[in-house]
Amino acid sequence: MPEEVGTMVVMPESDLESLDVLYIGDDDALAEMYRLKLELDGYWVRVVDLDNAVAEARARRPDIIFLELPAGRPDRLGILEDLRHVARRPDLPAIILTASRGQELRNQGATLSATDYIVRISSP
C-alpha cells in the first residue's frame, strides 16, 4: 500500500512490480509517452479516456491515477471523487497532469486531495 510523504507517494519496493496505474486522458501521444515510460519502469498501465474512466476504476481498482486535464478544463477534476468512490479507495493517490498553471486548479486539487501536479509546458 502506498505511503504518502509530503506530496510524494512512496511505494514499498515489494509492491512496485504489481503497481496498477490508471492513466486517464484524451491526448493519445501524451498517454502513449507516459504508458511507455511507466511500463519500462515496471508498472502495469491502462490508458482510458474520461468516458471510460469510472468503469475501469470500478473493474480494476487501480493503485494510482494519472489524470490528464486540458488547459481550461478544471471541471474535469471532479471525476476524482467518483473514481475513488467506485474503486473503494478514498485515499487513492492521484497525479494531475495539466498545461494550466492556474491557482484555481491547484485549489480544487487541494480540496480533492490530489497527491501532486505535473505542469507540462506546451511547445510554441
80-111, pLDDT tens digit by residue? 889 989 999 888 888 888 765 555 555 555 55
Amino acid at 93: P
Mean pLDDT value across residues 25-30: 89
Q: What b/e string do you get for 10-30 counting C-beta neighbours within 10 Å, with b at 16 or more?
A: ebeeeeeeebebbbbbeeeeb
Phi, psi of 113 (to 5 degrees): 60, 45
d(CA 67, CA 85) in angstroms, rounded, equals 16
Mean pLDDT value across residues 2-23: 61
Confidence of residue 47 (pLDDT cuts 50, 70, 90): very high
CB 35 within 8 Å of CB 23? yes
3 pLDDT above the threshold of 60: no
Identify the pLDDT of residue 38: 92
CB 24 within 8 Å of CB 50? yes
Q: Which 3-state string (H, E, C) describes 38-92? A: HHHCCCEEEEECHHHHHHHHHHHCCCEEEEEECCCCHHHHHHHHHHHHHCCCCCC
37 three-state secondary structure: helix
